[in-house]
Amino acid sequence: MASENIEDDKKSLPLPSADRTSYDGYNWRKYGQKQVKGSEYPRSYYKCTHPNCPVKKKVERSLDGQIAEIVYNGEQNHSKPQLPKRNASGRQGQGFVSDGTGLEINNPSLVNQVNDRNKGFEGRVEYQNEVGVGVQTTFSGQNVP
DNA sequence: ATCTTTTGACCTTCA
DNA sequence: GTGAAGGTCAAAAGA
């Protein structure tokens, strides 16, 4: 594999997942695309498809098809969707109903900032990460004094 | 039929 | 108050 597959073949995914863009465990719906100044690449805007999910995601790609920058806005208020969960008939108890990733939902400062539309703050900045348990909270800028 | 993606226009914010 | 850049919404098409 030299370096192709940039915009072709989309029906040959041996993996059960990776249906949407950058599979990170959540479902995103693209709601816009704009070209920002200073960058030759267009920026894509995604929003969580869950109800009551004020989570937004900004994704910028490079010509190589690699993620140049991913900016997450806000936090998931609900757990991850049940993807590879096959429940045969006769299921009742749920011993593992909590988040499958262990993502914590307690960021008053972040929510406050986002809610107040604070400037000089970009919520969370994350780079290409793997799915499963790669959820680190990296804060950029300054926090409340 | 449902859902997602795509594009244009409009709105918001900062200087 | 205007301009520019960025951000968001809506309608239509495709899968």
Q: Which residues from the 7-66 window of protein chain A have CB within 7 angstroms of nucleic acid chain B?
A: 20-21, 27-34, 49
Query: Which bases on strand C have an atom closer than 7 Å to a protein beta carbon?
Result: 4-10
What is the pTM for the complete model shown?
Answer: 0.65
Q: Which residues contact A82 (CB under 8 A, 6 or more apart)?
A: none
pLDDT along chain A (145 residues), means of 10: 51 48 79 86 88 84 73 75 51 46 46 48 48 44 41
**Residue A125's CB: how many other CB atoms inside 10 A?**
15
